[in-house]
Structure 1
Amino acid sequence: MDNPSETKYQYLAALSVNIISISYGAYCGWPSASILELASDKSPLETGPLTKHEQGWVASAVCLGGLFGAIFFVRLADKSGRKKSLLWMAIPNLLGWILIPYARNANHLIIARLIGGAAGGGVFSVIPIYVVELASNSVRGVLGTFLVLACSGGVCLAFVLGYYFDYATVSWIMATLTPAYFFCFWFMPETPQYLASRNKVKEAEYSLRYYRNIRSYSIKELSGDLQYELQKLKDTEKTDNDDTSDDSNAVTWSDFAEPKTRKAFLIGFGLIIFNQLCGCFTMLNYTAVIFEQAGASLQPTVAAIIVGAIQMLGNYVSTMLVERLGRKILLLVSAIGIGISQSVMASYSYCQVKGYQVESLNWVPIAGFSFMLFVAALGLLSLPFLVISELMPQKIRSTANMILMSVLWVISTCTIKLMPIFTEWLGMHGTVFMFASFSFGAAIFIFIFLPETKGKTVEALLASL
């Protein structure tokens, strides 16, 4: 384990960059309380209350924006650097929040959330790459979980603010996070690996020394691990300088054709599929609506705050356990726990539809939903982004992340948009039973195919596939 003094700037960087993750988390949680307000008879929109169709588009627009944001910001990260790409995300993030209070109809809200969602596409695509490239092996898992921990904090914050303020005031409050993010992250160096890949080895060595807090030591005083990291950066320079063409470093389909690389990519693809089809992220966008339909005893917005806090607790527990238990066991426990909790929730809803006397069990929706988000935060909602960045070789890491995150945003857009339709066709019980089947499928996939990535280099992981 590294000395805490050697990792403090890594923690500082991870905390600074994830301020924007808090803001994006609030984008995800904003519809929960706001849609109840905007769909009511007292809707402040000039066109009147949002219809079911419009609700689906307003909620899912943030994911559709994420699709375009993932492609744009990953390409920018490869061309201009991880840091510049992350700083540019502040613009759509801020614009999205500012436009919401001026919305006069559903189309205005959709456009605002499309713009804000573009920043979210960059958050989930570039931040995991940034963290993996700067972090020591011993803290890589902990720093990687900060992304979803910050997002869940933003979700909870949106729930709390939505209880006390109207949707426009919440937007103005959340807009203040963007300047704070820009100011804090501005001072962080570019990642050592990116600088070395661009033949800027002196800058890469400075960056490595900053993130390892070894600026005051000579090379002879460094530990063996740190000397090895510095040597790898110099080897990267020699390899790149031996190439006579800039096209030699371009990613091609043949880079994905190597069997072990292809297997790593397919594992990442499976994790992304189950991350969305387990339904947790989709249901999170409709938390208050779900509780209202389930007839929960608590006010829907209050229940949403409770489960938001529980999700944050789950993310915090994941941060504490990820380097102790490893990624695979947390993902496996998470998938099974999600499936069980969804089955209980769906059974309650089914009994309610059939007219059984379940009034004495009206605590079940809150308990089941809370447990679902807790175990989801332990693994299946939080760890796939870290594991994917750990599995992918450096050359294809950005491209693979862009492809996988694009798939994620397409699926999330479809599931969130179709959620009101699913509940209308299948009922709440049928929809949640469907999600439960995918959650159990995720457990089987993780058990069979996923290797443990804790503390291993990319080379060691690929060799184990």
Structure 2
Amino acid sequence: MKGAKTTAHEPSVKFQYFATLVVNLLSIAYGVNAGWTSASVILLKSDETPLPSGKITMEEASWITSLLCVGGLIGNILFGYITNRFGRKIPLLFLAIPTVISWSLVLFAQNVYYLYASRFLNGIVGGGVFVITPLYLSDIASDSIRGTLGSTMMLSGNTGTLLAFVLGNFCDFYTTPIVIIILTIIFAISFFFFPESPIFLFKQNRISETKKSISFYQNISTTDKEALQFEMDKLKNALGNTNKDGSSGKTSSWTDFITERLARKAITIGIVLAALNQFCGCFAMLNYTASIFEEAGSNMTPNMSAIIVGVIQLVGSYAATNLVDRAGRKFLFVVSTVGTAIGLISLGTYTMLRTWGYQVETFNWIPIASFSFVIFLASCAILTLPFLVIAEILPEELKDFGASFCMTLLWIVAFTITKYLPFMTEAIGFHGSMFLFAGACLSSAVFILLFMPETKGKSYEQIMSSL
């Protein structure tokens, strides 16, 4: 009987994919932020700057780049609270407002302070996207495709990054904000018609709306009482201890992660994955992609090098989306961390020999080959899967608080590395930075092998048992 229901529910994934496509329009819009500075900073520092106030300094450029992370930290904390209180749908729709405002500031920028405000607002949006989108996708996805849907957020973000590289190279300064404003409006209009996630509605004891949400996302007819009841029973089992009002019996807090063994292990894994996402150095380097190739002595134009890297990153994240429910999360993480470390060591060795005066011009293909290898392997897991795994392994009653905490840590590390990467490079050399990032990747690989459970294809109950 249970197998028959599963077969009957197979067509349901089409609405889950449709919802994923729409919600990730916002992820694409945010992804543009990561790549926008690559070409724009070079332009803004030049005599051809579009700012009426004149070209910017290196210090101002570092703030333009890193303020995204400051906003992300605030947005993460803010939307961690809002999501727990108001669900997934309303906060996601709200994110369209600061997105439009932030890109309007770029469109009408008169001086660098307009750009500071824009990047800060876009960071707030990013904080919201990184907290809400994985939770929303995890809530609506069937077990068989949860990994695929969860990994699409970063696939979409990388699509946005590549879009930023292309627009920055082939279009003028004002094209990018116009494109993103239009994309955001399309998202808001489309997503308005989707129901709230069934898990949040059930927690709020809105049983009638929960059934309608399940009916939509699982493609079950409202007249199919048996199938609806089967899904409602699954939901009750997944949520476990709830009161009659559908809420959990306690308020989430840091104390829960200290006193409960299962929660403690889950948050430790989440912290390592969130830190690894930034300590691999890829996000910081992507913000300076064009400048890095210029510094490394590549014989390609900086912006064209950035476009090639963007394509490689997109291919890597697409590979992750296709492999995550086949090869599994743990295998991809090990391959990704070890491979990324090898690429970083290769890039660091080349720049070290170049700095020491060795004749390496014959091998000037190494920077783009190594960096592309790093981005590809990192995109297979390090950059794409932490958000999915964190959403999967956290206990349901602590999920909103735990996800917000992990993302807060991520943004703190992101700001620190992004803001000070240029200065760290001056202090220990570009090669020193690469070796440092490689060490972080290798130590994380050992941790993942020893402590991270495989979650591929497992139900919530099975994941909790494996922790």
Give TM-score scaled by structure 2 length: 0.94
What corresponds to 1:286 in structure 2? 288
**Structure 2 partner of 1:161:** 167
Q: 2:432 aligns with which of 417, 430, 435?
A: 430
- Over 3 Å counting, the alpha-carbon distance change for 1:93 and 1:362 in structure 2 is same
Q: Which has the higher mean CA deviation after the structures are superposed, 26-35 or 203-212?
A: 203-212
Which residue is equivalent to 2:115?
Answer: 109
1:5 counterpart = 2:11: yes
Which 10-residue stretch deviates more, 251-260 or 96-105? Answer: 251-260
Q: Structure 1 residue 16 and structure 2 residue 6: aligned?
A: no
1:286-331 deviation line (CA, Å, top 9, x unaligned): 1000000011111110010011011101111111100101000001
Q: Aligned equivalents of 2:195 and 2:245: distance in 1?
A: 26
- Deviation per CA, 1:229-261, whole angstroms, max 9, x where unpaired? 311446769942279xx8944223443221111
Give the corresponding residue for 1:336: 338
SS in 1 for 2:143: coil
Q: 1:399 aligns with which of 398, 401, 405?
A: 401
- The letter for the 2-side match of 1:174 is I
Say how many residue pairs are matched.
459
Aligned CA distance change for structure 1 residues 394 and 34 (closer, same or farther; 3 Å): same
Distance 1:213 1:346 in 2: 51
For 1:238 and 1:303, locate their aligned partners in 2 and report how far apart those are by CA, in whole Å.
Answer: 53
Q: Secondary structure at the match of 1:176?
A: helix
Counterpart contact for 2:30–2:157, Cα < 8 Å: yes
Equivalent positions of 1:84-95 (< 5 A) are 84-95=90-101
Quote the residue 1:411 is aligned against.
413
Verify the 8 A CA contact 1:199 1:240 in the aligned structure 2.
Answer: no
Structure 1: any 5+ residue segments left out of the alignment? Answer: none
Deviates most, 70-79 or 269-278: 70-79
What CA deviation, in whole Å up to 9, does each residue of 1:153-200 have, x standing for no partner?
000000000001232322222221110111121111111110000001
In the alignment, what sits opposite 2:3? none
| SS of 1:138 mapped into structure 2 | helix
Partners of 1:72 and 1:355 lie apart in 2 by: 50
Q: Percent identity?
A: 42
Query: Where do residues 222-301 of structure 1 align in structure 2 (5 Å cutoff)?
Result: 222=227, 227-233=229-235, 239-241=242-244, 248-256=249-257, 257-301=259-303
Alignment partner of 1:28 out of 27, 34, 37? 34
Residues 96-105 or 185-194, more deviating: 96-105
2:309 and 2:39 mapped to 1: Cα distance?
13
Are the structure 2 counterparts of residues 202 and 242 from structure 1 closer, same or farther at C-alpha, using a change threshold of 3 Å?
A: closer
Does the 8 A contact of 2:76 with 2:127 survive in 1?
A: yes
Amino acid paired to 2:252 = V
- Equivalent position amino acid for 2:206 in 1: K
State the partner residue of 2:177.
171
**Stretch moving more, 436-445 or 6-15:** 436-445
SS of the equivalent of 2:457 reads coil
Tell me the residue number matched to 1:127.
Answer: 133
Question: CA 1:350–1:14 in 2, change beyond 3 Å: closer, same or farther?
Answer: same
Instruction: Give the deviation of 1:100 after TM superposition.
Output: 0.9
Evaluate the alpha carbon distance shift between residue 314 and residue 4 of structure 1 in structure 2; reply closer, same or farther with a 3 A threshold. Answer: farther
CA contact (8 A) 1:392 1:458 kept: no
Partner residue of 1:55?
61
Correspondence list, 1:68-107, <5 A: 68-107=74-113
Q: 2: CA distance between counterparts of 1:378 and 1:233? A: 31
1:198 is aligned to 2:204: yes
- Per the alignment, residue 365 of structure 2 pairs with 363
Q: Distance in 2 between matches of 1:232 and 1:239?
A: 14
User: For residues 134 and 151 of structure 1, do their structure 2 counterparts lie closer, same or farther at Cα, with a shift above 3 Å needed?
Assistant: same
Instruction: Assess, with a 3 A threshold, how the Cα gap between structure 1 residues 191 and 418 changes in structure 2: closer, same or farther.
Output: same
Q: Which amino acid aligns with 2:283?
A: F
CA distance in 1, matches of 2:199, 2:135: 10
Q: Is the 8 A contact 1:32 1:285 kept in 2?
A: yes
Q: Which letter does structure 1 place at the counterpart of 2:243?
A: D
Structure 2 alignment gaps of length 5 or more? 1-5
Q: 1:156 to 1:401 in 2, by over 3 A?
A: same
Output the CA distance in 1 between the equivalents of 2:340 and 2:146. 25
Partner of 1:349: 351
Classify the secondary structure of the residue corresponding to 2:144.
coil
Distance 1:138 1:237, change over 3 A: closer
Query: Is 1:181 aligned to 2:187, yes or no?
Result: yes
What secondary structure does 1:387 align onto? helix
Distance apart, 1:217 and its partner CA: 5.0
* Structure 1 Cα separation of the partners of residues 161 and 261 of structure 2: 39
Q: Indicate if the aligned counterparts of 2:203 and 2:248 stay in contact, CA closer than 8 A.
A: no
**In structure 2, how many angstroms separate the alpha carbons of the residues matched to 1:397 and 1:239?**
14
Conserved in 2, the CA contact under 8 Å of 1:134 and 1:211?
Answer: yes
CA distance in 1: counterparts of 2:460 and 2:322, whole angstroms: 23
Cα deviation, residue 419, structure 1: 1.0
- Alignment deviations for residues 79-129 of structure 1 (CA, whole Å, 9 cap, x no partner): 111100110011111111110122233222111110111111000101000
The change in CA–CA distance for 1:15 and 1:31 in structure 2 (over 3 A counts) is same
Instruction: Give me the TM-score of the superposition, normalised by structure 1.
Output: 0.95
Q: What is the Cα deviation at residue 365 of structure 1? A: 0.6
Aligned partner of 1:448 among 447, 450, 459:
450
Asked whether the 8 Å contact 1:52–1:420 carries over to 2, the reply is no
